[in-house]
Structures are given as structure tokens and as C-alpha cells.
Amino acid sequence: MSESDGGGRRDDNRSGRPDDNRRGGPGGRDGERRAAGPRRNAQGRQRPERAHGGRERSAQKPSERGRTSDPQRLAAYTVMRAVADGAYANLELPKVLRDKDIRGRDAAFTTELVYGAVRMHGLYDPIISVAAARPIAKIDENVVDTLRLGAHQLLGMRVPTHAAVDETVALARKVNGAGAAGFVNAVMRRISERDLDAWLAEVVPTNGDLTARLAVEHSHPEWVVKALRAALLGHGAATAETIDDDLSSLVASDNDPAKVSLVARPGLSSVSELVDDGAEASWLSPVGAILPGGDPGAIRAVREGRAAVQDEGSQLLALALAAVPVEAEAPEQWLDLCAGPGGKAGLLAALALQAGADLTANEVTEHRTELVRQTLRPALLQAGAHGRTIDVRTGDGRFYGEDEPGRYHRVLVDAPCTGLGALRRRPEARWRRTPADLADLGALQRELLASAIDATAPGGVIAYATCSPHLAETQFVVRDVTRKRDDVELLDAREYLRDASGEVVDVPGGGKTVQLWPHLHGTDGMFLALLRKTR
């Protein structure tokens, strides 16, 4: 239900959960790492900071300590292993939480454990390696996952040291075996001897190469940091003078939990309904609201599919496509070419009904088409009453131009992409993607955009969007496709990106396309180009 990383509060602290595990992680902005407040003992009472993260010994003998692992850490480990085998954390975690009946604050704690350990292992692995006095590749990968969970408790959450060590050793005994537990105990104790700043001073390279430094400090593959540097410069969001600071802010924000933003699908729900249910109106999106805490599923409009969890950047893009003036005979035909799982289609469907337009929502995989159908259910139910059609289809978007030339008046190409603008949401994404993906995706993105243009009627408008700022997926795709054609022109997309008070959203850079940024707008790194079909 939620796109959030979770987090939350816990009154008792028996198993060492932090009071507020959403903030203060190693990926947080500089100076905020320990901003969440003082350390607490196992009963949750405040205690003084230690100078260098010194040891706090348990009163128990090692053989007596942590014989049983708690269900949350065991669940976190189970998800970690599934992710190592190719699963997606955001899909696997809810299943495991459900199976183990882990809810509320315990679910938030488990979520933070998994997301933090997966996301931050680019930093934790060098620390584990130093603490273990051996290369990470020489440690069994199951044991590495246990240690990543332990390192995150010590360095990224404010779990009391004795609880983090004892519970991680107990977990190791259960899942890695008694021999490994002794090793885990030794490594965890070594890690606990220093605080995060001392470890950063130890493992972050100091040779002056900012890319290498940021890659370790903020746990990103180096190629991603380089690509983000090029993107900031290429989209005009940084200059030669500001790039180091801007890049640092961007990679730091990739490790901040995304706020839980909701969309009120127009005509089905409203921002004021969401506000009445505890959300706060978004200043950025006219149809958005922010949930300050709690489960979005507790909100009636969300449960009924009239509202949903959706990034504000995604909302702005769909609204922009709907806002461009188009001269066409009613009813306008709208097309979402790559609709799965249906987030933007959900908003477009509501807007189409209000505008008296029909919508075709297409997706290439059956499974994701079914997700689109579920998302659109409330709009589908209303379409008949409005005398309108919402058609959900499975098909390859590359053939729409050939099969239905000139049929549509507004077309969204929310292209499959690397997702480098949404790293906050997918903890494993940065480690899965490789530069080689860009070649495959680039060819597909170009074909989909060309097909969309062919499928658009003269005077109609095409929105090309990605949740990546990578230049190869954004500017270069639009440039390559449009320069081969004389039937399309680039519109100034900035004109149509309006905040909740109707003002043009401030987007850095001087071009006609829009690039949103997590560190500037608090949204995913969404790209938008708007094209007019001229003939």
C-alpha cells in the first residue's frame, strides 16, 4: 500500500528498537546523522553519548546471550536473502510481514532494517570488511547479510549496542550456524567500538576523487554517481561551481525515506477529504496530500481506490499532459502507452472522465495489466455513467503507431527506465542496474516514443516521461526521435507544471523539458518532455 520506507515509534524498547528509526541514518544529510535524539538504553531511558561508540557489554555470558532471534530480525533476514536471489524488497517484504503476522511498529522496524541494510551496503560492506579483517568476498554471503542488518542497527538506527549485538548474534546462530555466530559476535563488537563518523573517516577514500568518496559515503555504485553528476549538469540543475554540493545533496537524498504522498483522484475523491482523514494538503500538487504518519490503508478513499499513494512528481506530470490545449472533436481519445501498474493511468482516467474523454490504458505484461485494471476500477465503474469508455489492454506499445495511426489526442509514454530518479523507493535498484541496461532501454524508449507520435492525431500532444534523470533516457531520447521527424515540435513543458496555488513550479535549467529532483522538489527524479504533433 505504501511507497514509504516505513519507520515509526515504539513505546517499549525491549528488543532495542529505536524511538524514531526514520531519521539519522548514515545516508541522511550531513550533520543530520544523529539528529534524532539521544541514545537510549534497553528500557528506552536516555543515556549519555559515548565518545567513540565504545562497547557496552551485556551482563550475560556469550553462551547464554541471544539464544532466540526475534521475529522481526528473522523476517528481515528472510527478505534480504530473497532480495539476494532477485526479489524486490518492496514486493517481498509485505508478503513476509503478512506470513509472520508482523504489524504496526514491528513492521516499521522490520522495514527500516531491510531497506537500510540493502540500501546502505555500499557503506556497510567496507566497514564489515575492516572489522572482519578480510575482504567481503571472503565472507559467506548469508553471513554478510546478517552483518549488514547488524551494522545498520549500530550505525544507521539508534538501536542500543547490546541489543544490536546480542540480537544479531542470536540471528546468526539461528540462520548461519553456531560457528558463524562466534564470527558475527566478534565483527559486531569491532563495529560497535566506533561511531559512524569514525567509520566514515576509516573507509571513505580521501584521495580527492569526489565520485569515489560519495559512492562509499552515500552508498551508490560509482557509475550511478557519475551519471547523476552528468544529469545535474546536463539538465541545468548545477553549474561547474555548484556541482559538488548539488551532487552531494542529491545522493544524500536518495537515502532519505520518501514522504508518503497521496493523490486524490479528481471526481472520485478530493484533497479536503484526505485532509479530513489526517493528511496535509500538498503545496506542490493541486491533487496531492502528505500523510505525516500512519498507514495510508487506514484512509477510506485510499482503501476504496478513489485516492492512492503516488509521488507528487508523477501527479504533476499527468496533470501537465491534461492541461495542454488541444483542438479536437469531442470526445478526445487519450492513451497511456505504458500504464502498468497504473499510478498515472489512475489519475488520467479521473481527469479524462472530467474532460469528457475516453482513455485507453495499455501495458505489455498481463500481470501488470491486471494491476492497471484494479487501479482503474473506481473510474471504470463511473465511466458508464459518464457515457465514456476506459479500455484496459495488454499490448506492445511499439505497435500502436502502426496499428492505430493518428487516433489519439493525448498520449503518455511513461517509458520503462533505469529508475535512477526513484532510488529512495527501491533499496536494491541501485545495485541491480548496470550501464548495459541503458543500451537496451534506450532502444525501447526510442521505439515507444516514435510509436506514440505516430499514434497521435495532428494537433495532439505527447508526454514523454521517465523516473530517471539519466541523460541517455531523457534528453537524448527526445533529441534523437524528434530530429528524424518534421511532424513534431517540443512544447515548453514548464508552462504546464503548476503547483497547488497555480504557480509555475520552479525547475532549474533553461530548456523546455522538466526535470524534477528529490533534493530540490522532494519528489522522485521525474523527467517530462511535451511534444505537439504538427501534422
Ligand X SMILES: C[S@@+](CC[C@H](N)C(=O)[O-])C[C@H]1O[C@@H](n2cnc3c(N)ncnc32)[C@H](O)[C@@H]1O
State the binding site: 338-344, 363, 396, 414
Q: Sort residue 497 into left (φ over 0), alpha (ψ -120 to 50) or beta.
A: beta
Q: Which residues are annotated as a binding site for S-adenosyl-L-methionine?
A: 338-344, 363, 396, 414
Nearest-angstrom CA–CA distance, 136 and 146: 13
Residues 6+ apart with CB under 8 A from 37: 19, 20, 158
Residues 6+ apart with CB under 8 A from 522: 259, 284, 312
Closest separation in Å from C-beta 359 to ligand X:
13
Of residues 68, 272, 365, 534, which one binds ligand X by CB under 6 A? 365
Of residues 16, 18, 416, 518, which one binds ligand X by CB under 6 A? 416
Closest separation in Å from C-beta 79 to ligand X:
23
Kindly state the number of chain residues that form the binding site for ligand X, as judged by CB under 6 A.
19
Of residues 339, 352, 383, 516, which one binds ligand X by CB under 6 A? 339
* Residue 467 is a catalytic residue: yes
Choices 1-9, 145-153, 390-398, 501-509 (CB under 6 A): range interacting with ligand X: 390-398
Our CB check for ligand X shows the closer of 416 and 460 to be 416
User: Residues of 236-270 as b/e, b for ≥16 C-beta within 10 angstroms?
Assistant: ebbeeeebeebbbbbbbbbbbbbbbbbbbbbbbbb
H and E: helices and strands count for the chain: 22, 12
Closest separation in Å from C-beta 466 to ligand X:
7
Nearest-angstrom CA–CA distance, 134 and 197: 21
379: contact with ligand X by CB under 6 A: no
Q: Which residue's entry shows cell 527501491?
A: 426
The string of DSSP letters for 438-494 reads: HHHHHHHHHHHHHHHHHTEEEEEEEEEEES---TTTTHHHHHHHHHT-SSEEEE-GG
Sketch the per residue contact string, 299 through 338, with ligand X: x for CB under 6 A, - otherwise: ---------------x----------------------xx
Our CB check for ligand X shows the closer of 34 and 425 to be 425
Nearest-angstrom CA–CA distance, 5 and 3: 7
Our CB check for ligand X shows the closer of 217 and 336 to be 336
Burial of residue 28 (number of CB atoms within 10 Å: 0-12, 13-18, 19+): buried
Residue pair 299/277 in contact by the 8 Å Cβ criterion:
yes
Our CB check for ligand X shows the closer of 128 and 289 to be 289
CA geometry: angle 337, 338, 343, nearest 5 deg: 115
340: contact with ligand X by CB under 6 A: yes
Our CB check for ligand X shows the closer of 132 and 467 to be 467
Of residues 341, 435, 459, 509, which one binds ligand X by CB under 6 A? 341
414: contact with ligand X by CB under 6 A: yes
Closest separation in Å from C-beta 345 to ligand X:
6
Our CB check for ligand X shows the closer of 175 and 390 to be 390
Which is nearest to 248 in space by CA: 418, 29, 425, 428? 29
Our CB check for ligand X shows the closer of 341 and 459 to be 341
Measured between alpha carbons, how far apart are the two ends of the chain, in Å?
A: 43
397: contact with ligand X by CB under 6 A: yes
Of residues 29, 213, 226, 368, which one binds ligand X by CB under 6 A? 368
Residues 6+ apart with CB under 8 A from 484: none
Residue 523: what residue type?
T
**Active-site option among 467, 493, 505, 530:** 467
393: contact with ligand X by CB under 6 A: no
3-state secondary structure of 309: strand
Closest separation in Å from C-beta 436 to ligand X:
17
Choices 132-140, 277-285, 392-400, 433-441 (CB under 6 A): range interacting with ligand X: 392-400
Which is nearest to 284 in space by CA: 69, 501, 508, 430? 501
Sketch the per residue contact string, 345 through 364, with ligand X: x for CB under 6 A, - otherwise: -----------------xxx
Closest separation in Å from C-beta 458 to ligand X:
24
User: Residues of 87-126 as b/e, b for ≥16 C-beta within 10 angstroms?
Assistant: bebbebbeebbeebebeebbbbbbbbbbbbbbbbbbbbbb
Residues 6+ apart with CB under 8 A from 347: 263, 265, 266, 287, 310, 314, 315, 318, 319
Our CB check for ligand X shows the closer of 451 and 482 to be 451
Cis peptide before 331 (omega within 30 of 0): yes
3-state secondary structure of 278: coil
Closest separation in Å from C-beta 469 to ligand X:
14
396: contact with ligand X by CB under 6 A: yes
213: contact with ligand X by CB under 6 A: no
20: contact with ligand X by CB under 6 A: no
Closest separation in Å from C-beta 248 to ligand X:
27
343: contact with ligand X by CB under 6 A: yes
Residue 190: what residue type?
R
Choices 31-39, 42-50, 167-175, 394-402 (CB under 6 A): range interacting with ligand X: 394-402
Of residues 398, 407, 432, 512, which one binds ligand X by CB under 6 A? 398
Residues carrying an active site annotation: 467
Site of interaction with ligand X (CB under 6 A): 314, 337-344, 362-365, 368, 396-398, 414, 416
